[in-house]
């Protein structure tokens, strides 16, 4: 460590026992961290391997490791000191992780991992070490997939922007086009801007490139920030240009040319063009934004080595971190090992006759069922004697505590994505329910091609109902904490609003069907549910 300030500096190598303590502590905490997040890390690896939007993420640990290795001299000479603010942050993110693991919320637990690593660094090593490692460890956030809801919120407008940019380029090239939603109609050929073409696939890796470019080639803080932020509009513009040129190739050379080599190779073109743009943009802002100081002035302060943590004192945060993570790992494993709550003849055997309502099944693609987050599903349309229709969908999970990245999707995302426009959305209480007395559901009014519908949906375990998916996951956490195994249901009702019909009449009809349907569902589950292994 530095013994003098302003004079010649002399470094004193840390004693061997300090080094051994650091290696052992780091190893023990790393093992406990992996044990705690093992199933989550498996899910992340599956995403990185199979989802093209996050295939770059496998390089992030290597980059982080290199940047830490680059700081090895600073790490060796840093002052190690327990920071209890970091301890408080560690406990906070531990609770978030517990909610994510026990409540089957992959987004919550995945997002907490980088925060957990940063808080452990601050807690066990102190502020000085935290400042040294903050940037390399913060790159780990770029490995975490966006939550499904956020991805949908970002992806929909990105697809719209990319479609419009592609349309503008095609018109500029003299191609006559008609755009409807995310479909570019060129007469003979149609291009559909799907989720993979929204531009999100380029934003995150280009943001990573922008951050690393700024780090290695720029020292000014503001220029670094501008370079990193510039990659976001850059990726959107380049993606629009790519869609436009794909359309031009499809128009003049056929869709096979556009969908073949160019479609695969265009990704490389995007990144090469982006890197060239960053280089040029960097040169421009380098002359536009001047440094306040010609030199970075570094002041070496005198360190009081008596305040450094001894191995015995440093055991306290290491024990707290290790025991907490291993306890959550054991509890999470026991919760995931709950026996599945299955239905004897499957959910498809749910009654098609409910009082005066007669139903007919709609066939569902098994792949769509899996993507919806359900293990089993039931989809039918019920008609009353008066000719009114209600569409009923039930999604069922008999193992709701297991890792599942496709946990029940909210209609507030799925319906707009399929072309429905949400006119209103609020909560609604249904009274005199047979099992739960009163339940609160999410109520939506949607419209498509001048057809209006009333939508109810909610989530349900064997003890709770919830109008919100996050509240539902909190209920699953409570089930886990009380060691109460349960199923999980997602129930959605859609009723067309007849022309001239008052909203109150539609609502009363759906309320009454809901009471009858839930009574039938309660009887069906109590008669047919079994726990495997019991």
How far is 97 from 325, CA to CA, in rounded Å? 10
18-32 tens-digit pLDDT: 667 778 888 999 999
Q: Are 102 and 477 in contact (CB under 8 A)?
A: yes
Beta-ladder partners of 427: 442
Please state, in angstroms and rounded to a whole number, the distance separating the CA atoms of residues 481 and 297: 54
What separation in angstroms does the CA of 400 have from each of 133, 282, 371, 490? 37, 49, 15, 12
Per-residue pLDDT tens over the stretch 308-357: 556 566 688 999 999 999 999 999 888 888 899 999 888 989 999 998 99
- Residue pair 359/353 in contact by the 8 Å Cβ criterion: yes
Token pair belonging to 427: 């909560």
SS3 content of the chain, % helix, strand, coil (to 5): 60, 15, 25
pLDDT of residue 281: 83
DSSP per-residue string spanning 381-442 = EEE-TT--EEEEEEEEES-TTS--TT----HHHHHHHTT-EEEEEEEEEEEEETTTEEEEEE
Residue whose entry in the numeric block shows the structure tokens 């709550």: 341
Q: Rounded to an integer, what distance in angstroms lies between the CA atom of residue 454 and that of residue 506? A: 7
What is the average per-residue pLDDT within 205-230? 84
Neighbours of 165 (CB within 10 A): 20
**What are the angstrom distances between the C-alpha of 284 and each of 275, 278, 345?**
14, 10, 68
Separation CA 170–CA 300 (nearest Å): 59
Biggest alpha carbon–alpha carbon distance for the chain: 95
178 and 240 assigned to the same domain: yes
477 pLDDT tier (thresholds 50, 70, 90): very high
Claim to verify: residue 49 and residue 139 sit in the same structural domain: yes
Does 298 fall in a domain? Answer: no
| pLDDT mean across residues, the chain | 81
Looking at residue 267, its pLDDT comes to 62
Q: In 3-state terms, what secondary structure has residue 254?
A: coil
- Do 394 and 409 belong together in one domain? yes
The answer to whether position 460 is within a domain reads yes
How far apart are the C-alpha atoms of 239 and 446, rounded to whole Å? 31
Query: 1 in a domain, yes or no?
Result: no
pLDDT at 230: 85
* Angstrom distance (rounded) from CA 191 to CA 185: 6
- 163 occurs within a structural domain: yes
Least confident of 145-149, 322-326, 401-405: 401-405
Total domain count, the chain: 3
Same domain, 134 and 55: yes
Give residues with Cβ within 8 angstroms of 174, minimum separation 6: none
139 and 192 housed in the same domain: no
Beta-carbon contacts of 418 under 8 Å, excluding residues fewer than 6 positions away, are none
How far apart CA 375 and CA 398 sit, in angstroms, is 7
Give a yes or no: residue 2 inside a domain.
Answer: no
Domain that holds residue 42: 16-145+305-336
Sign of CA dihedral 316, 320, 323, 329: negative
Distance from C-alpha of 208 to C-alpha of 62, rounded to nearest angstrom = 13
Say if residue 5's pLDDT is above 50.
no
Regarding whether 175 and 96 lie in a shared domain, the answer is: no
Confidence band of 392 (pLDDT split at 50, 70, 90): very high
Tally of CB atoms within 10 A around 348? 13
pLDDT band at 389 (very low <50, low <70, confident <90, very high): very high
Confirm if 126 and 83 have CB atoms less than 8 A apart. yes
Summarize pLDDT for 355-370 with one digit per residue, the tens. 899 999 988 766 666 6
pLDDT digits (tens, 9 = 90+) for 109-145: 999 999 999 999 999 988 999 999 999 999 999 999 8
Radius of gyration for the alpha carbons in the chain, expressed in angstroms and rounded: 28
| 426 and 386 belong to one structural domain | yes
Closest CA to 517 of 311, 344, 378: 378
DSSP class per residue in 464-488: -EESSHHHHHHHHHHHHHTT----E
The residue count for the chain: 534
Asked whether residue 6 is assigned to any structural domain, the reply reads: no
Range 201-224 average pLDDT: 82
Q: Is residue 10 a part of any domain in this protein?
A: no
SS3 359: strand
Res. 196: pLDDT tops 60: no
Provide the token pair at 488.
Answer: 């999980």
Say if 9 falls within a structural domain. Answer: no
Instruction: Assess contact for 329 and 40: CB atoms under 8 A.
Output: no
Here the CATH number for the domain that contains residue 508 is 3.40.1000
Q: Please check whether residues 78 and 24 belong to one and the same domain.
A: yes
Query: Band of the pLDDT at 300, cuts 50, 70, 90?
Result: very low
The secondary structure of 211-226 as a DSSP string is HHHHHHH---HHHHHH
Q: 342 — phi, psi (to 5°)?
A: -105, 165
135 with 152, same domain: the answer is: no
Q: Are residues 263 and 382 in the same domain?
A: no
pLDDT tens profile 234-293 = 877 777 777 777 777 777 666 665 555 455 555 667 777 777 888 888 888 877 766 654
Q: 367 and 451: one domain?
A: yes
Q: Mark whether 205 and 276 lie in a shared domain.
A: yes
Nearest to 462 by CA among 491, 492, 484: 484
Strands 465-466 and 488-496, sheet pairing: unpaired
């Amino acid at each position: 460590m530095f013994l003098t300030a302003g004079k010649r500096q002399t470094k004193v190598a840390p004693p061997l026992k300090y080094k051994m303590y650091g290696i052992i502590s780091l190893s023990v905490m790393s093992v406990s961290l992996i044990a705690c997040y093992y199933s989550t890390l498996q899910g992340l690896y599956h995403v990185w391997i199979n989802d093209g939007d996050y295939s770059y993420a496998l390089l992030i640990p290597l980059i982080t490791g290199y940047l830490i290795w680059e700081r090895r001299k600073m790490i060796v000479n840093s002052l190690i000191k327990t920071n209890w603010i970091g301890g408080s942050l560690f406990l906070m993110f531990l609770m978030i992780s517990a909610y994510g693991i026990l409540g089957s919320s992959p987004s919550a637990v995945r997002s907490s991992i980088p925060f957990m690593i940063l808080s452990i660094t601050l807690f066990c090593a102190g502020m000085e070490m935290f400042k040294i490692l903050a940037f390399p460890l913060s790159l780990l956030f770029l490995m975490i997939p966006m939550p499904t809801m956020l991805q949908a919120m970002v992806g929909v407008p990105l697809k719209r922007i990319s479609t419009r940019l592609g349309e503008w380029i095609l018109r500029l090239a003299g191609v006559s086009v008609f755009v409807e939603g995310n479909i570019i109609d060129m007469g003979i050929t149609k291009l559909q801007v799907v989720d993979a073409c929204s531009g999100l696939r380029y934003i995150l890796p280009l943001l990573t490139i922008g951050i690393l470019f700024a780090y290695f080639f720029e020292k000014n803080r503001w220029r670094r920030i501008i370079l990193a932020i510039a990659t976001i509009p850059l990726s959107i513009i380049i993606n629009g240009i790519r869609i436009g040129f794909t359309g031009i190739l499809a128009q003049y050379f056929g869709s096979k040319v556009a969908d073949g080599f160019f479609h695969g190779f265009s990704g490389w073109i995007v990144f090469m063009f982006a890197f060239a743009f960053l280089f040029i943009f960097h040169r421009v802002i380098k002359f536009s934004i001047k440094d306040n100081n010609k030199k970075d002035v570094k002041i070496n302060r005198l360190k009081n080595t008596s305040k450094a943590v001894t191995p015995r004192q440093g055991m306290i945060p290491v024990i707290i971190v290790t025991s907490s993570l291993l306890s959550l790992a054991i509890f999470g494993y026991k919760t995931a090992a709950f026996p599945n709550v299955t239905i004897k003849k499957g959910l498809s055997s749910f009654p098609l006759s409910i009082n005066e309502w007669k139903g007919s099944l709609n066939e569902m693609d098994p792949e769509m069922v899996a993507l919806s987050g359900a293990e089993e599903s039931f989809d039918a349309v019920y008609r009353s004697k008066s000719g009114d229709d209600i569409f009923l969908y039930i999604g069922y999970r008999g193992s709701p505590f297991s890792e599942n990245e496709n946990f029940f999707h909210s209609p507030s995302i799925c319906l707009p994505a399929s072309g429905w426009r949400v006119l209103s959305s609020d909560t609604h209480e249904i009274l005199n329910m047979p099992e739960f007395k009163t339940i609160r559901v999410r109520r939506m009014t949607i419209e498509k091609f001048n057809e209006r519908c009333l939508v109810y949906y909610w989530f349900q375990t064997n003890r709770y109902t919830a109008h919100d998916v996050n509240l539902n996951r909190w209920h699953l956490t409570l089930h886990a904490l009380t060691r109460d195994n349960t199923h999980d249901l997602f129930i959605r009702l859609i009723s067309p609003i007849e022309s001239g019909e008052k909203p109150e009449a539609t609502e009363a009809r759906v309320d009454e069907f809901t009471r009858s349907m839930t009574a039938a569902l309660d009887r069906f589950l109590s008669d047919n549910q079994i726990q495997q292994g019991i």
